Structure 1
Amino acid sequence: MVIPVIITFFLLFVINIAYSYITVVETRKENLLTRTNVLSEGVAINLKKAVIHDDELSAREILDVFKVEPWVIDVIVINEKGNVFAEYDNSISSSSNIVIENYSSFNANVHDYSFSDNFLRVSFPIYINSDLYGNMLIKASLDSIEKVKEEVFNFFIVLLLPMIMCCLVLVQQLESWVVGPILQLNRAMRITVNNHNTTKRLDVQSSDEIGSLVKCFNEMMGSLEARDSYIQKTLEQLANEVTFADDVISTINHGLVVLSRDGKVKMANSTYYSLFPNSKDQMIGQSFNKSTCDEIWNTCESWLSKMHNETKFEAIIESVKYHNSERFYFITGCRLNNGEELLLVLEDITDKHLATQQQQLASRIFEQSTDGIAVIDNNNQIVMINPTLCRLLNRQADSVINEPVTKLFSSIQITSINSILFEQRRYWNGEIIEVTADGIPLPMAVHANLIGTGSDSRVVINISDLSGDKEIERLDYLAHHDELTGLANRTKLYTVLEGMLSTPQNSEYNFALLYIDLDGFKPVNDTYGHHVGDYVLQQIALRFQRVVRDSDFVSRLAGDEFVIVLNPITSYEVGYTIASRIKEVISESIYFEGYELRLGASIGFSMVKSDKNTTIESVLAKADSAMYKAKKTNNKGIYYTD
């Protein structure tokens, strides 16, 4: 504090001296300029006649008036042509040219002046009837002003020492009366603030205002010490209670919410935030209906209205629509703080509820399914079997559970089901015939799926009884049709040909035969995979059925070989037209999985007229031979033989 006081007083002193200095100097300059202007004005009036008559001698006598002012160094009169007309020189050495050059920046038409470090220069025009006849240039010394500056500086030096002495005395008194006690009080307060130490006391050294301040400080410290002691005990007790409460709340996996009687949220734990994702800032102090779903709020609102009569509530909230999902909650409520608050405990039981429903549904499906169901583990042991399968095979569940699969099934497809599913991409469909416990053969359709991996894998087998009429018809269809394309198979073809050969025909030919072999199919199958080849065969079969007549018969022999029976056939032209249409649709592009596939076909065309020596084999052999000739000849891929 001492240094700022000294600096303040010194700055005030310097500012005062500087102001006085500037004021005195400026005043002296103005006085000098005024005296010069007055004198110059009078001399200019007297010079008018001398200038008009070009009387240089009279002009010099008039300029001698400047001798009365010692501060005037030299005066020069310039005529209208810019030449020196007359001059007055009070200096030791002077040059008119130099003097004139010093005034070169002045405007000769107006009264002008300038101050330099050592001189005052004045330009005074001489006008006669508004005409400029010349200009009087005056240079005055500033020695008097320099003397004033020196006097002011000496005055500053004389006053500086007493001022410093006064400052030191004042500072010493301030240090004793004010600064010392205040610094002592400041140190005590810093100790209290930084170290939280309220035991510090100060000595009262005076009875003035500073002494009263120190006394008040000591009293305040006593009060703070007593308050801190009470607060510390209270905080310790509160911390223990909060720690206990936090430990209890952290062990609860349910959402906790405390509501006031008007339904506003006063507290909620982190589990509740996970159930209803709203931040704490959004919930605390707001109505509970803004942070939960309508179903829960309606239940809680009803409880709030009953808090004066009941102390505990329970409810299951079902089918709650929250964030586009269906949720289920179990809610318990109890009254707190004499009925002023309500504690809610919320548990999301959606997963439990759905799991229970799924388990119940799966159990009903397993128990009530009209198909037999068995579950086999990775060791080929039966772990589950439903009543339908027990009834079909006339077995008791207890006799086969945890037993090898061979105790229930004899079919190689079932007893080796694990290895079959591994090779067949985790699923297998097929038909088997099992023998029941009574020794009765039972046709069955089997659908097996591999679920899980490793030691946790299980095989679920679904078995349908094929002994009924509909199942027999299905077996008949499967026996006479190609599984991939749905076309008639070789067996069905032979049956149809046998019937047609044995039936008399009214026309010359009984029927015509198209023996078709796809060109380019094997590269497609080898390049893109069997699934692409299967798709191609299915598309070709659909195109065949689109082109042929309703009375015609389409079959697949094997691989990429097809036989079409044209019936009735009246002429070669009719058969050839159909064959050409078939070849055309085969050549159309097939698109699958981003690939463009193109095939061709070789068609053997044969007109058949049956007699007692005609056999199915001879008919097919004749058409087959024509097909191979179509491959070798360039006859648009169709070769006819009768």
Structure 2
Amino acid sequence: MSKSLLQRVFWTISLRVKVLIPVLFTVITLFGLGQFFSTMQSIEMKTLQQIERLKSIGIRLTHSYPLTNAGVNVDAIRLGLDLIPELTHIAIYSTDGQLRVLLKGATIDVSKDSWQKMTQADSWQTDTELIVTVVIPEQEGEAVLVMKSVKTDITLFIQKSLYHSILFLGAFLVVWMVFYLTFNRLVLNPISQLSIVMQQVTNRHQRDHLNRKSGRDEMELLFNSFTHMLERSDAKEDHVIYALRKLNAEKDFANKVLDTIRFATLVVDSTGVIVHHNKAAEELFSEHTGELLDTDIKAMTHGDLTIEAIFESLTLPRNVTFNMDKVLNIHSTKLPEVNRYLVCIENITEIEQSTERHRVASSVFENNAEAMMIVDCNNLISMVNSAMATLIGLDKKKCIGKTPQQVFASQQFNQLSTSIELSLNRYGFWQGEISQIAGDGRTVPLLVKASQIARSRNSDKVDYFYMFSDLSSVKEMERLSYLAHHDALTGLANRTKLYLMMENALSDPNCIRAGFAILYIDLDGFKLVNDKYGHDAGDFVLQQVASRMLAQVRIHDCVARLAGDEFVIMLRHISQQDVEGFAQRLTEDLSQPMIFCGQSMFVGASIGINYSTDSNTDLGQLLKQADSAMYRVKRVKKEQA
């Protein structure tokens, strides 16, 4: 596990650390080892030099002051030894280790083992001392000169070595920094840039810019080659991106074109499976709850649309019925490059229905008993039906392209043209009556209805539709109805209409509660006018009386002429006091002179009033009571006369 961890740590370390740190560690380690061995060697050499120096001192002593039977000149030797301060002990021993002469220092006990070690080698050392022995020949035998000296202090050597090491390390660090910067610039930076770029090679937008190197060494050649490779790779990527963008743009354009086509468009394979479609197809087949892609068109349309029908529509478009209520027009094109078929499906249900409605409307227009005409926005006739052609006595083809004023013999229509046009433009409708001379020469009363019809939803232009209804029979019925309910001379209501209006009033409880009055009027002096001035004057007087009565009543009241010079006025929603005031005003109005052919004629009026608020009153009884009241008024007038 630790080995695996070390491997992971090693692979996460950068190349700069992998290269420079081991080199730095190796150099420092080698320098430390070399400095250590050099210091140890210097110490050892210094010790050897000290030993040799002691030996040379001993030899000089033995040569300068030879031992004799008479002894050694101790004072002379000591005087010379004082000049050598590092000597701590010097003595002459016999060969068996017995002290003979102590020249310097304190007496030391020399054991047998120690003496053997000192005599076996001419030098011997401990951690702090050096012992050198020199054999002194003498006349009677040999003696041994033993010198003990303080070992040279190695601290100075170590300090000196450390000082040199520090100087070396300082110089080494300076050289190392120069080397590092040079190596970093020439080797590591290019490799680092290559590493970074290799990591960013999949995302060129985050990639650092690489500048070509001017050198010719291997690293710079490698760097330049890699830069060239990236440039070519980027160029290829740019080309691929451009091609993909262009392809996507073309694909998006094609999809948008397909989506903007109002026809349902499908791409199917040779087995009838849908591989592509536009939005119009989704709307057309909205009843299909699943996804259209990868769906068999035959299964989706419940067998109404098959691959065989698609094959047949390659040459000529054909219609199929879908779901029993939709009529589809299919046109197919083969795509040989991909062995697929482009199928354009137009829902012509509305077109078929519109065509059928147009056929029915044309049939209704042509076969209608009413005369019909369509005038365009330029006031030119664009269509007429057979009834219209018969009415104006012209062939239909001769009417087309002419103005209505050119085909109508009636000046009344031509005079109303401006009013009709103004009403159509302002309200979109006009209705009125005109008289037209028909093809057989008779004058026909016509009810004209004109209206605007829009050409299309998106057009501001409109046409005008005219329908002419023959009112001859209607007018005759109206005339007969009028004669059945009105007096022919005065235009007032006759007895029949009076009874109808009285029945309606009596059946209305609100009318009875508000007050209901019957005024029975007989003209005074009418017979004299009729006998003196003739029947024309009498008729004129009756018409003037009728006109004055109508001027006094309200719109919901009724004025009727029963016979001769007898009139009845029915007043509704009126109080008894107002009835009396009305009768007074009417009497005064009728007493005013009437001028006929320069002659002033006068008549009076006897008015009988029957006022009631009882809904149970009989109609005949009301008139009878009013008639009785009128005769009482006449009798009073005669008595007063």
Give the TM-score, by structure 1 length. Answer: 0.41
- The structure with more radius of gyration: 2
Give the TM-score, by structure 2 length. Answer: 0.41
